[in-house]
């Protein structure tokens, strides 16, 4: 696995997740927050007919054909990791453009009743290229980055890979938002 939507999301959250995921070291699939994410994704817009689409390197949460073209949306539980979700949607738009499909993107946050548009413009492309370079660097590394306590550690489904000593709930270092 070289790159994918999830890896772009993880590079903004925790570089260690990139390395683990690239080696198919999967999180605890029964983790309550993963289950909650699947629940919100499946029930985000019950009155609309939504279609999830799996393509190489990505699973689009929501795809809809509109009069102006294709709409691709990523459904998230909260806006806390909005920049990570933005990178993920930028990647989807980029890959679709490579295949000759023009689309517009959105991040949908049902609990907040919020829709954030995402556009693959020059600034978004530059940001995506930097993130892709970082993903490739992490994937090619022989060892994972050292674990670093960040706020996301408290609810991370990969916690066992980093904190086998059982101190997942310890205070995070620094002010990193994850």
pLDDT value for 177 = 42
pLDDT digits (tens, 9 = 90+) for 65-114: 888 889 999 999 889 999 999 999 999 999 999 999 999 999 999 989 99
pTM: 0.79
- Report DSSP letters for 76-102, one per residue: -S-STTHHHHHHHHHHHHHHHHHTT--
**Residue 65 three-state SS:** strand
pLDDT value for 73 = 93
Residue 30 clears pLDDT 80, i.e. is over it: no
Residue 33 clears pLDDT 60, i.e. is over it: no
């Amino acid at each position: 696995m070289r790159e994918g939507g999830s890896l772009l999301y993880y590079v903004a959250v925790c570089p260690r997740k990139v390395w683990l995921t690239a080696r198919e070291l999967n999180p605890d699939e029964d983790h309550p927050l993963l289950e909650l994410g699947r629940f919100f994704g499946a029930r985000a817009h019950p009155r609309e007919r939504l279609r999830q689409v799996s393509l190489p390197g990505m699973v689009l949460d929501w795809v809809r054909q509109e009069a102006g073209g294709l709409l691709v949306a990523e459904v998230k539980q909260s806006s806390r990791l909005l920049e990570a979700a933005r990178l993920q949607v930028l990647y989807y738009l980029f890959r679709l453009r490579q295949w000759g499909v023009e689309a517009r993107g959105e991040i949908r946050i049902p609990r907040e009743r919020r829709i954030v548009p995402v556009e693959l413009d020059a600034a978004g492309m530059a940001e995506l290229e930097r993130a892709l370079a970082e993903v490739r660097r992490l994937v090619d590394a022989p060892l994972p980055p050292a674990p670093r306590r960040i706020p996301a550690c408290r609810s991370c489904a990969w916690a066992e890979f980093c904190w086998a000593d059982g101190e997942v709930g310890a205070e995070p270092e620094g002010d990193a938002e994850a």
